[in-house]
Amino acid sequence: MKDELMAFAYRFARNRPAMAGVAILATVFLMAVLAYFVYPDSPWDMVAEPFLWPGQERAFWLGTDMLGRDLGAGIFHGARVSLLIGFVATLVAVIVGVAIGALAGYYGGWMDNVLMRLTEMFQTIPPFIFAIVLVAIFQPSVATIVLAIAVVSWPAVARLVRAEVLSLRGREFVQACVAIGMNDARIIFLHILPNTLAPVIVTGSLMVATAILTEAGLAFLGLGDPNVMSWGTIIGAGRDVLRSAWYVTAIPGVAILLTVLALNLVGEGLNDALNPRLKHR
Amino acid sequence: MPRSLRYLLRRLAQAVPIVLGIAIFNFMLVHMAPGDAVDVLAGEAGGANPEYVEQLREQFGLDQPLPVQLGKYLWSVASLDLGFSFRHNMPVVDIILQRLPATLMLMVCAIALAFSLGVFLGVTAARNVNRVLDRVISVGALLAYATPIFWIGLMLILLFSVRLGWLPSSGMETIGADYSGWARVVDLARHLLLPSVTLALFYMALYTRLMRASMLEVYGLDYITVARAKGVPERRVAYRHVLRNALLPMVTMLGLQVGSLLGGSVLVETVFGWPGLGRLAFEAVFQRDFNLLLGILLLCSVLVVLVNILVDLLYARLDPRIEVAG
């Protein structure tokens, strides 16, 4: 097991794009963690004169928006919001998806039928519009945004886990567990689910990227939590001054792009490192 | 074709429980929302007196038990009545049908653009695998895949409308120009270009990556080696032998992406002021017009179901190895 882990780490570390992704992601994490130290004041505060261009004044190196709010503070605090919502929403979606997929795949029969119909139903509803409806009805807040993103993203995990569990269900080691009278929960949690971990991790890392894009889209439409500064919110506000001060829109967009790109690179790197035989394609 | 007709009917029958489930779910959502339509109306009127509010509730049937309301709701959905929008003072179905053509036009253009460019770029990358051209295409696709769709729309406006002044930044037609004939088509195309490119970019990246992977997989098959061995030129191998089989997963992907494309059009239509369903959904959110919003959600879901049935039929036509089970 330890050797396997080492081999995996080695394969991953040799993948240069994936390591670049890790570096970008680490930077964004650091920005999120340090947001309150570097910019202790609220990013909503008007701290300088409006429309300072990036680099014009050293104290406000990313410039200020139309209300004189520091864009640097917005970007740092926005990193917290994006990562928090992206990771928590994905975690919730993965837990729900794994539970439903495992139950459907392990028990089969009517349970599989009902759960898969439910999954199919949720997969049919256009995800982004569904998220908009959920957030609009339950009022925008970090919690409702997280839940809305989780609600629209669990079906993919459920289908993946179901297929994996279905193929593991008939394997000898699982039959051996059944034969010695092990209870179902133990078989599922200790013997089947650990074997589905690799694909779930890969899917999960790509889901975080989608979740961050969804959050940004919601915030851009004005459906962000009104109490937190999000990258999408800044773009939505900057849109009105696109003609005169395009940097207000451009900067947070680049932040989203880099973060999502990094997550995709890491996800692909994980995929290649976890499935070394598939690599040469 | 009685066989595919039977298949079509069976698929439509299978879709009924899904649509029914979504409709029930829709109904639950409205009732979980804080406050009902009457509260919103009363709040708007500046706090109506309680008797009037009760009268309104009775009028809309909101005072009846939930199961009765659900039954009524499902019955009206089945008869294509999605309720009434008090904002627009029109039945929801009529508003949606009014806005649907603009969205369909945008989506069809975006899909056509994304699909054709994605196939072309994917084939080009696969033919030059691990060479400079492949790297450039792959990096471009990776970037386009990570870019927020609304942001790239704004950047395109900045470049092509604000800086260069080549293309209009919003709307569907030049207001007050009253073009007719070809001039109108040209005007429409100029307005359509930026939104469809914006919407297409992400999917083009997706198709490029999928096409490349799919091509490389088919390149490894024995019959390609045979084709090369008998001296078929490389270009012909790529476009005639590999491409045709590599296209199949792309068709599946097309069906899977319709729902997400509809979501993307909400953002694109908002950025470009395109008068379609997406912009309507955006307006409905801020007018708290939940009847309209849920009508859009339901209709979009039905659209996804229909497109997927269509894609499956198309798939069976493209690949004779797959039979539609009658």
**pLDDT one-digit tens code per residue, B38-85:** 666 666 555 567 777 777 677 666 667 777 778 887 887 777 777 777
Interfacial residues of A (vs B; Cβ cutoff 8 Å): 117-118, 120-121, 123-134, 136-139, 209, 213, 216-217, 220-223, 232, 235, 239, 242-243, 246, 249-250, 253, 256-258, 260-261, 264-265, 281
A83-92, A114-123, B15-24, B174-183: range with lowest mean pLDDT: B174-183
Q: Is the dihedral of CA A14, A17, A18, A22 positive or negative?
A: positive
Q: How many beta-carbon pairs under 8 angstroms link A with B?
A: 137
Q: Which tokens in the block code for residue B142?
A: 């990776």
Of A126, A221, A260, the CB nearest to B270: A221
pLDDT band at B37 (very low <50, low <70, confident <90, very high): low
How many residues in total does chain A contain?
281
Query: CA-to-CA distance for B102 and B43, rounded, in angstroms?
Result: 33
Instruction: Provide mean pLDDT across the span A60-83.
Output: 80
What pLDDT is stored for residue B251 in this prediction? 82
Instruction: Provide mean pLDDT across the span B255-281.
Output: 88
| Residue numbers in B near A232 (CB within 8 A) | 148
Distance from CA of B250 to the nearest CA of A (A): 18
pLDDT band at A238 (very low <50, low <70, confident <90, very high): confident
Q: Residue A89 is inside which H or E element, if any? A: helix A71-107
pLDDT band at A92 (very low <50, low <70, confident <90, very high): very high
pLDDT band at B5 (very low <50, low <70, confident <90, very high): confident
- The reported pTM is 0.88
Instruction: Provide mean pLDDT across the span A98-111.
Output: 91
Question: Residue B19's closest chain A neighbor by CA?
Answer: A121
Say whether pLDDT at A131 is over 80: yes
Q: Is the dihedral of CA A116, A118, A123, A124 positive or negative?
A: positive
The whole-chain average pLDDT of chain B stands at 83
Maximum pairwise Cα distance, chain B: 88
What pLDDT is stored for residue A261 in this prediction? 94
Q: What is the number of helices (H) and of strands (E) in chain A?
A: 11, 0
Residue owning tokens 């999605």: B82
Q: Which tokens in the block code for residue A40?
A: 């202790």
What pLDDT is stored for residue B42 in this prediction? 63
Query: CA-to-CA distance for A103 and A120, rounded, in angstroms?
Result: 16
- C-alpha B75 chain-centroid distance: 27
Distance from CA of A126 to the nearest CA of B (A): 4
| Residue numbers in A near B32 (CB within 8 A) | 137-138
What pLDDT is stored for residue B34 in this prediction? 66
Three-class secondary structure of residue B194 per DSSP: helix
Q: Which tokens in the block code for residue B162?
A: 């604000």
What pLDDT is stored for residue B326 in this prediction? 44
In one letter, which amino acid is B90?
M
Q: Is the dihedral of CA B195, B196, B199, B204 positive or negative?
A: negative
Three-class secondary structure of residue B91 per DSSP: strand
- ipTM of the complex in this document: 0.86
Say whether pLDDT at A15 is over 50: yes
Q: Residue B281 is inside which H or E element, if any? A: helix B277-286
Question: Residue A125's closest chain B neighbor by CA?
Answer: B301
In one letter, which amino acid is B98?
Q
What pLDDT is stored for residue B61 in this prediction? 67
Percentage of residues in chain A having pLDDT higher than 90? 37
What pLDDT is stored for residue B30 in this prediction? 75
How many residues in total does chain B contain?
326
Query: CA-to-CA distance for A231 and A216, rounded, in angstroms?
Result: 6
Burial readout B65-82 (b: 16 or more C-beta within 10 A, e: otherwise): eeeebeeebeeebeeeeb
Say whether pLDDT at B194 is over 70: yes
Mutate to test the interface with B, among A128, A230, A234 (most CBs of B within 10 A): A128
What pLDDT is stored for residue A100 in this prediction? 94
In one letter, which amino acid is A224?
G
Query: CA-to-CA distance for B261 and B283, rounded, in angstroms?
Result: 19
Residues B123-156: tens digit of each pLDDT = 999 888 888 999 999 999 999 999 999 999 999 9
pLDDT band at B11 (very low <50, low <70, confident <90, very high): confident
Say whether pLDDT at A281 is over 50: no
| Number of other residues whose CB lies within 10 A of the CB of residue B9 | 11
Percentage of residues in chain A having pLDDT higher than 70? 93
Of A133, A220, A264, the CB nearest to B294: A133
What are the φ and ψ backbone dihedral angles of B274, each rounded to 5 degrees?
Answer: -80, 125
Strands (E), chain B: 84-85, 90-91
Mutate to test the interface with B, among A137, A247, A258, A259 (most CBs of B within 10 A): A137
Distance from CA of A57 to the nearest CA of B (A): 25
Residues A147-197: tens digit of each pLDDT = 999 999 999 999 999 999 988 888 888 889 989 988 888 898 888 888 888
Considering A88-102, B71-85, B242-256, B310-324, the range whose residues carry the highest mean pLDDT is A88-102
Interface contact B301-A126, CB threshold 8 A: yes
Question: Strand pairing partners for B85?
Answer: B90
Say whether pLDDT at B1 is over 70: no
Q: What share of chain B is helix, strand, coil (3-state, %, to 5)?
A: 75, 0, 20
Query: CA-to-CA distance for A247 and A62, rounded, in angstroms?
Result: 9
Nearest in space to A253 (alpha carbons), one of A132, A127, A80, A78: A78
Three-class secondary structure of residue A280 per DSSP: coil
Three-class secondary structure of residue A135 per DSSP: helix
CA triple B216-B222-B223, angle to 5 deg: 95
Burial readout B186-206 (b: 16 or more C-beta within 10 A, e: otherwise): ebeeebbbbbbbbbbbbbbbb
Mutate to test the interface with A, among B96, B138, B154, B301 (most CBs of A within 10 A): B154
Say whether pLDDT at B118 is over 70: yes
Say whether pLDDT at B175 is over 60: yes
Instruction: Provide mean pLDDT across the span A109-122.
Output: 90
Say whether pLDDT at B263 is over 80: yes
Q: Which residues contact B235 (CB under 8 A, 6 or more apart)?
A: none
Q: Which tokens in the block code for residue B298?
A: 């339901």
pLDDT band at B21 (very low <50, low <70, confident <90, very high): confident
Three-class secondary structure of residue B107 per DSSP: helix
Three-class secondary structure of residue A45 per DSSP: coil
DSSP character at residue B294: H
Of A117, A132, A246, the CB nearest to B281: A132
